[in-house]
Chain A
């Protein structure tokens, strides 16, 4: 195979350039908080760099990145729950509701209500819902990001929607 294209995987910088906006927006929407989103995005990209050699060149980058991001969100939620018991109301009391601190004052009551309902969903359903409606992944990509099958991704989203609709 003389002088054939090598099909090297994309440089990490290229991947970052291509997807950093998307990941940042996703994290903003999931966390609802600028500082958290910035921290999580930084951590996502550093982890991605470390894990990058193990990403097969032909496999899809987006589910892989979201997998890293949701794992970090999960860790953050766990540590946050631990911390919240000790520190109450950090950050000038912008703590709204039980689960989320909100950045945006314009966000209407309906959105706040919706966030709380989403926060009450079981973890897997919540994550699948986030990926479907916040990140706009299709079911195959959700399965890739969360592990498990396409069917279970579909089931998680539909269960979540059923619950939300019941309370809507």
Chain B
């Protein structure tokens, strides 16, 4: 007999039943351990929206990922990151609603975004704090990077806030588009500045396609005093901008529970 044939036959005499029995034993032990260390499942799919294609992932607790898709490489990389925390299962039906919600939201339906948000993909506590705090900024208002930093107890951390927002896994639902430079410039956006403008426009801000700054028509609401002013009110020159929310119009400020300034009478 040739040595190769003989080698291939060594240990080959294990009967199929014996192997099956071993497999059965092994499988039940593996299953028992897996039950404890399993990554949670996430339904994944691509949905169309007026803002382009979105890669969406939903866990049992809510939306974990809402990613602006650029190209195929981007898709693979994003799913790669998702896999570190979740076991993705393709399920277009489970995520379809997100596309619909985004479409309705951009059309002006303020209550369209109904999914609860699951920030499991956010690993850093600072980023978690920033994104959590950001959810308190209402539709129709924007805050500055500095201001948001101060709100999480980290003054002078505008850049860090910017980085935290850049890696926001759930844009639109966690409204990172509502954060601008403290000098009034619109600033950047993970999905591109055009999408940021589009979102802010749908929330009531008067911005044209190439706008670089928020318009003068915004009113300044002070988070501490709960007073809102015109942007040219004489008090705005001195105020600590960290405390300011910029509202698209007086009505939005009123809705956020603020009263008009008695000097500039914005209402």
Do A and B form a real pair? yes
Summarize B's interface: helix, strand, loop or mixed.
helix
B25, closest chain A residue (CB): A38
A110–B1 Cα distance when bound, in Å, is: 11
Q: Are A104 and B13 in contact (CB under 8 A)?
A: yes
Q: Are B53 and A46 in contact (CB under 8 A)?
A: no
Q: Are A6 and B44 in contact (CB under 8 A)?
A: yes
B237 within 8 Å of A (CB atoms): no
Q: Given that A6-B75, A29-B10, A133-B8 are contacting pairs, would A1 and B46 also be in contact in the complex, using a CB cutoff of 8 Å?
A: yes
Q: Are A20 and B27 in contact (CB under 8 A)?
A: yes
B90 within 8 Å of A (CB atoms): yes
Give the number of residues in B that approach A within 8 Å (Cβ atoms): 42
Chain A residues lying within 8 Å of B19, measured Cβ to Cβ, are 21, 24-25, 28
Contact size range, A: 35 or more
Chain B residues lying within 8 Å of A129, measured Cβ to Cβ, are 7
Q: Are B83 and A20 in contact (CB under 8 A)?
A: no
A6 contacts which of B25, B46, B84 (Cβ < 8 Å)?
B46
Q: Given that A28-B11, A114-B7, A134-B11 are contacting pairs, would A8 and B92 also be in contact in the complex, using a CB cutoff of 8 Å?
A: no
B240 within 8 Å of A (CB atoms): no
Selecting from A64-72, A77-85, A137-145, A160-168, the interface stretch reads A160-168
Min C-beta distance of A137 to chain B, whole Å: 13
A168, closest chain B residue (CB): B3
A164–B10 Cα distance when bound, in Å, is: 14
Chain B residues lying within 8 Å of A164, measured Cβ to Cβ, are 3, 7
B76 within 8 Å of A (CB atoms): yes
A99 within 8 Å of B (CB atoms): no
A37 within 8 Å of B (CB atoms): yes
Q: Given that A11-B89, A38-B25 are contacting pairs, would A114 and B6 also be in contact in the complex, using a CB cutoff of 8 Å?
A: yes
Q: Are B53 and A110 in contact (CB under 8 A)?
A: no
B14, closest chain A residue (CB): A28
* Interface flags, B23-35, vs A, CB<8A=1, else 0: 1011101100110
Min C-beta distance of B144 to chain A, whole Å: 36
Q: Are A25 and B14 in contact (CB under 8 A)?
A: yes
Q: Are B22 and A3 in contact (CB under 8 A)?
A: no
* Interface flags, A78-117, vs B, CB<8A=1, else 0: 0000000000000000000000000010110011001100
Min C-beta distance of A52 to chain B, whole Å: 8
A50 within 8 Å of B (CB atoms): yes
Q: Are B30 and A42 in contact (CB under 8 A)?
A: yes
* Interface flags, A27-61, vs B, CB<8A=1, else 0: 01110101001100110011001101110110000
Q: Are B7 and A133 in contact (CB under 8 A)?
A: yes
Chain A residues lying within 8 Å of B29, measured Cβ to Cβ, are 42
Min C-beta distance of B47 to chain A, whole Å: 9
B69 within 8 Å of A (CB atoms): yes
Q: Are B11 and A29 in contact (CB under 8 A)?
A: yes
Q: Are A133 and B14 in contact (CB under 8 A)?
A: no
Q: Given that A46-B30, A165-B3 are contacting pairs, would A2 and B14 also be in contact in the complex, using a CB cutoff of 8 Å?
A: no
Q: Are B18 and A106 in contact (CB under 8 A)?
A: no
A84–B10 Cα distance when bound, in Å, is: 25
Q: A8-B90, A28-B11 are in contact. List 4 more A-B contacts (CB 8 A).
A: A3-B48, A6-B45, A16-B27, A107-B10
7 A-B pairs closest in CB distance: A29-B11, A53-B83, A133-B7, A53-B84, A41-B26, A45-B30, A42-B26
18 contacts between A and B (CB under 8 A): A2-B46, A6-B75, A12-B87, A20-B26, A21-B19, A25-B14, A34-B22, A38-B25, A45-B26, A46-B30, A53-B39, A57-B76, A107-B11, A114-B7, A134-B7, A134-B10, A164-B3, A168-B3
